[in-house]
Amino acid sequence: MIINRGPNNAFYALNSRCSHQSCIVEALDSSTNLINCFCHGSIFAIDGRRIAGPASSALSKYALTFDGSNLLEIKIPGLGYTITASSVQSADQAIPRIRLDFRSLRNVDYEVLFRESLDKEATVIPFSLTPADTADQTVFSAPTSASVSLFVDRTSPSGFYSIAVRLTEA
């Protein structure tokens, strides 16, 4: 995926697979404001529109919303996860824990978010990779796609957990 930011906080989340023959296109060239596919020379605009062939169509886009300050939400069809909100009991742990299971994608950074209620802001919370370790990690990433279990301390009697993809600005 490529996420481009245009003037006035116009964001574009684009499938990085070229619409010609599925090569991975380059990141936006900041000097030309264009996206190149060097496989066969297709060129796309910042919003994925086709500028030049042989691709005959635009890069496909993902629906997104931006809250105007710091939250960008991108909907990726088929990228789902389930959270197994099972309590983990361990003699070593004074605080009850919750295990979150999901399927991670290769080289994607994930964070665990928690909000006490839907009208509260979500915050990043620490996790561990085993039921017994101290929850002191904040970013999960793996070199291959995998089924992952993360363990968080249950510090509130109720609330909502989510797994978020962490994005960094290039």
Task: Give the residues lining the site for ligand FES (CB under 6 A).
Answer: 18, 20-21, 23, 37, 39-42, 54-55
Instruction: Tell me whether residue 27 or residue 63 sits nearer to ligand FES (CB atom).
Output: 27
Q: Residue 20 or residue 97: which is nearer to ligand FES going by CB?
A: 20
Residue 137 backbone phi and psi in degrees, to 5 = -105, 150
Q: How far is the CB of 160 from ligand FES (least distance, A)?
A: 41
The token pair that represents 49 in the structure block = 């529109």
- Least separation in angstroms between CB 2 and ligand FES: 13
Q: How far apart are alpha carbons 31 and 38 in whole angstroms?
A: 17
Tokens 């996420």 belong to residue: 3
CB-nearer residue toward ligand FES: 39 or 88: 39
Cross-strand partners of 90: none
C-beta closer to ligand FES: residue 54 or 159: 54
Tokens, residue 105: 């994608």
CA distances from 161 to 5, 22, 44, 121, 151 (A): 28, 35, 37, 12, 11
d(CA 157, CA 161) in angstroms, rounded, equals 12
- Least separation in angstroms between residue 156's CB and ligand FES is 49
Q: Give the shortest CB-83-to-ligand FES separation in angstroms.
A: 37
Measured from the CB atom, is 25 or 122 closer to ligand FES?
25
Kindly state the smallest distance separating residue 20's Cβ from ligand FES, in Å.
3
Residue 97 contacts residue 126 (beta carbons within 8 Å) = no
